Amino acid sequence: MSDWLSPSNIIGVIGIFSTILVAVWVYFKEKTKKELTYQFVYDIPVVSVSKITKGTIEVTLDGKPVKDARVVVIKVWNSGNREITKEDYDTPVSFEFLNRDVISGEVLSTEPEDLMIPDIQKVFLRLQNNTVIFPEYLLNKGESIRVSVLTSGAWDNIKQRGRIIGGNILYSDFITSYKRISLYYTLGSVFALLLMVIGLFITISIHGIIGDVLYAVGLIGLLYFGWQMLRQMKRDHEAV
């Protein structure tokens, strides 16, 4: 009985349960989901001037004055783990600019670059009063579209509308999402490192195969979380 309660066996049992928990967690994380995420990269005035010079500077478009002109950059991407097809949209994704007029809109960039041909980019967005409407467009996992919108009027909130069938459309605040993702990958890396230490301890103490398995699982986990963190850092850099 005392042999079963030895430190090496206790650590081994903890390691096995930890491995099971990791497997369950990975399963739910990778479970099929349809998900779009949007982010307001920035919403800034075209010209920033002091009150002294404000009356002497005028922004025009095609010869017509644009009052309180602002540029808004919006990024929309497939943050799920399956493609979103034209048939998945219940209503198109759109953005309503409260108390502002939409003057123009265009596609700035896509990921990958060949996501759409130049002719489609020119007519991709549909403008309707104070609303920018995205067409029902195929987006595979990780693919994104970044658009620029010129508005007239003082700053106000932007209302997202639209639905996808059996999925979600989420808002991503850059700072909040960065902190959450960083914590997520850091905790995952620490847990994987802990499995490696436990596995190494068991291997040295009793030369059991359990130790080798735990060490291998921990090493794979550490490499996985490190790789995911690098990918996320690359995506965050491209989003700005």
More confident position, 30 or 122: 122
The structural domains of the chain, with segments of one domain joined by +, span 7-31+176-239, 34-172
More confident position, 91 or 197: 91
Global pTM? 0.64
Closest CA to 170 of 60, 69, 36, 16: 36
What pLDDT sits at residue 48? 56
Q: What is the CA radius of gyration of the chain?
A: 25
Is 132 in contact with 149 (CB distance < 8 Å)?
yes
When pLDDT is cut at 50, 70 and 90, the band that residue 131 belongs to is very high
Which of 71-80, 113-122, 183-192, 204-213 has the largest mean confidence?
71-80
Q: Are strands 167-171 and 34-45 parallel, antiparallel or unpaired?
A: parallel
User: Burial, 199: exposed, middle or buried (Cβ in 10 Å; 0-12, 13-18, 19+)?
Assistant: buried
Mean pLDDT of 94-102: 95
Assess if CATH 2.60.40 describes domain 34-172.
yes
Residue 150 has pLDDT above 90, yes or no: yes
When pLDDT is cut at 50, 70 and 90, the band that residue 60 belongs to is low
SS3 content of the chain, % helix, strand, coil (to 5): 40, 30, 25
When pLDDT is cut at 50, 70 and 90, the band that residue 10 belongs to is low
Residue 49 has pLDDT above 50, yes or no: no
What pLDDT sits at residue 215? 66
Mean pLDDT of 157-177: 84
